[in-house]
Amino acid sequence: MPALVVVGAQWGDEGKGKIVHFLGKDADWVVRYQGGNNAGHTVVFGGQKFALHLTPSGILAKGCKSVIGNGVVVDPNAFVKEVKMLESRGIKVRGRLFISLAAHVILPYHIYVDTLREEGGRGIGTTKRGIGPCYEDKVARIGIRIADFLDPEVFRKLVRRNLKVRAAELAKVKPLKTIEKEVFKDYDRQRRFLAPFAADCSLFLDAANKKKKRLLLESAQGSMLDLDHGTYPFVTSSNPVAGGACAGAGIGPTAITAVMGVTKAYTTRVGLGPFPTEVEGHVGHYIREVGKEYGTTTGRARRIGWLDVPQLKAAIRMNGMTALTMTKLDTLTGVHPIKVCVGYKLGKKRLADFPVSRREQLDVEPVYESYPGFSGDLSKAKKFSDLPRGAREYVLAVEKLLGVPVSIVSVGQSREQTIVRDATRLWS
């Protein structure tokens, strides 16, 4: 069975949702394997824009089934809203979307704790959606899973226990009894709504494997926000890297046949943390406005930077990427020159690799190579040869620097604005 992992090669927001939607037309199952509704994918389908936060982008692909895997943390309220939004816009969801019984549940007290930390001087720039505190409970073995959520007696017992565990922090927000009432206020309605979607998804995926079906596994966020391999501590609370797909979906590593990394033609980052190639001023503002670089989930302005080769090489290495997709090439129209970071300076030293040390990540200075810009409307290009010469040369130069083929080039938000350079690299 072909199983393809699609993973962000930078700090998230690379356009993975569109690429998963594009590849989803050839998939039988699309699986989201980590993160929560702190992520956001904007997908254009049938002339409409869909902002998805929990549901895999494959839900928009006809005939494809979608799974929210056990590695995802699920806010029941957000899930209910998203399903209702999709159904109100004519997307068939029931019977096509499933949540793992082993996925953990985000509850109001997780959001309170997250907000308290962000606004109390301990923040790292989270979305305040309760993601981190929910994963903390998971690791501390006091988490509440979907299977527990569906059992009223078990759920109420676990909630009361957890409120006592977090009492010291939560008491700074409001009385525990008030928070308890908030948790239980819509519980019965949410439980009844979620129940038909809940399943042991590992069994589904194993059955799909045996039937030689195609699996597409999608990450949230990006490789440099990975808990283990990213710019720690300014990272997310899970493992977006391809290795996290197996643990977060309930499949074995031998099922994975290819890994597609998604990178923008430049770099963006949301929130705090090191960003060696960050550029401000006129160029940064221009790219942000042309590229509409504002968060799908929060609306926050994204930080802008030039493409960073050492950072991308680190992502390629840690994911085992077999091919790359380059998105937002069209955004660079009119930018001249285009810079690419090919290494760093750290004092008198030259570094070829992205450093692990948090001090070095903050202190390195980028070493740039410059490339001629290009002009013209790229959005109507159907094949690589349709692109302006400067755009083609830029893609080829990046491909050579990275040593991994750029198999797909995206020149717009819709699925149709996608150029496949090498179809043989997509699933194997």
Contact residues for 283 (Cβ-Cβ < 8 A; gap 6+): 304, 335
3-state class of 384 per DSSP? helix
How many residues can be counted in the chain? 428
CA distance 359 to 355: 9
263 SS3 class: strand
Q: Cβ neighbours of residue 107 under 8 Å, at least 6 residues apart?
A: 130, 134, 144, 159, 183
Q: Is 53 considered catalytic here? A: no
Strands 73-74 and 104-105: parallel
Concerning whether 226 is annotated as a catalytic residue, the answer is: no
Q: Exactly one of 21, 41, 53, 110 is catalytic; which is it? A: 41
DSSP assignment of 302-346 equals PEEE-EEHHHHHHHHHHHT-SEEEEE-GGGGTT-SSEEEEEEEEE
What phi-psi label fits residue 141: left (phi over 0), alpha (psi between -120 and 50 degrees) or beta? Answer: left
- Cα–Cα distance between 59 and 406 in angstroms, integer? 26
How many CB atoms sit inside 10 A of residue 96's CB? 17
Instruction: Tell me the residue type at 353.
Output: D
CB 67 within 8 A of CB 53: no
User: Which residues, other chains included, contact 406 with Cβ-Cβ below 8 Å and sequence gap of 6+?
Assistant: 323, 324, 325, 326, 395, 398, 399, 421
Residue 50: name the closest of 10, 91, 79 by CA: 91
Rounded to whole angstroms, how far apart are CA atoms 423 and 428? 10
Q: Which residue pairs, CB below 8 angstroms and at least 24 apart, start in 137-142?
A: 137/104, 137/110, 137/162, 138/73, 138/104
Could you tell me which of 279, 272, 327, 278 has the C-alpha nearest to residue 300? 272
What token pair was written down for 65?
A: 């089934």
- What is the token pair recorded at 117? 């930390």
Residues identified as active-site = 13, 41
